[in-house]
């Protein structure tokens, strides 16, 4: 009977699986520490029934922020984003701030990794840089009702002068 040999295969496989997982975790850990690549997060609450009176979300759109950063404010509602068109410059940090006035929505800029949930009562924020000028499609990617598939807007990234 070859119990011993079989035991060795078994152990080798378990070691290999363990090493693979440690490798995955080491990569994640390295990216988190050395490259600052951590899960996106922003903690801020807002009264969803008063967003239209909120100074930020009453007039959503593009504004200039401090340190040359571009600030985009967008409001999600069934079944549209406000504003319907966003223009930002290429190769500059762009900070997005979003909330919803009704149900949960998603905000995804197709062809990029800009992707966030938009939850009523909370403000989502993330910062990104668009390197490629052109027109992008923004879609709602969380089911929000019968017009979910109609909910989209446009992002135009303009090449720096």
Using CB under 8 A as the binding rule, the residues of this chain from 53 to 82 that contact another protein are 78-79
Which span sits near another protein by CB under 8 A: 52-60, 62-70, 87-95, 140-148? 140-148
| 4 contacts another protein (rule: CB under 8 A) | no
Peptide bond into 79 cis (omega under 30): yes
End-to-end CA distance of the chain: 77
Running DSSP on this structure, what letter comes out for residue 88?
E
Beta strands in 1-151 (DSSP E): 62-64, 70-77, 80-82, 85-89, 93-100, 105-109, 115-118, 124-129, 134-139
* DSSP 3-state of 39: coil
The mark string for 109-138 relative to another protein (x by CB under 8 A, - otherwise) is -xx-xxxxx-xxxxxxx----------xx-
Q: Select from 91, 92, 145, 158 the one that contacts another protein (CB under 8 A).
A: 145
Name the site residues for another protein (rule: CB under 8 A): 3, 6, 9-10, 13-14, 17-18, 20-21, 24-25, 28, 31-32, 37-49, 78-79, 102-104, 106, 108, 110-111, 113-117, 119-125, 136-137, 139-150, 152
């Amino acid at each position: 009977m070859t119990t011993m040999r079989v035991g060795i295969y078994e152990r080798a496989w378990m070691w290999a699986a363990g090493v693979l997982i440690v490798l995955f975790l080491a990569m994640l850990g390295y990216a988190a520490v050395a490259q600052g690549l951590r899960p996106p997060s922003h903690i801020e609450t807002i009264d969803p029934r008063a967003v239209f009176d909120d100074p930020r979300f009453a007039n959503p759109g593009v504004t200039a922020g401090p340190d040359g950063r571009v600030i985009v404010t967008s409001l999600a509602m069934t079944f549209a984003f406000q504003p319907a068109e966003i223009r930002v410059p290429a190769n500059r940090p762009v900070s997005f701030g979003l909330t919803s006035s009704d149900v949960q929505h998603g905000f995804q800029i197709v062809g990029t990794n800009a992707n966030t949930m938009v939850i009523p009562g909370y403000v989502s924020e993330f910062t990104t840089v668009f390197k490629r000028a052109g027109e992008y499609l923004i879609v709602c990617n969380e089911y929000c009702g019968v017009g979910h598939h109609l909910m989209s807007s446009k992002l135009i990234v303009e090449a720096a002068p």
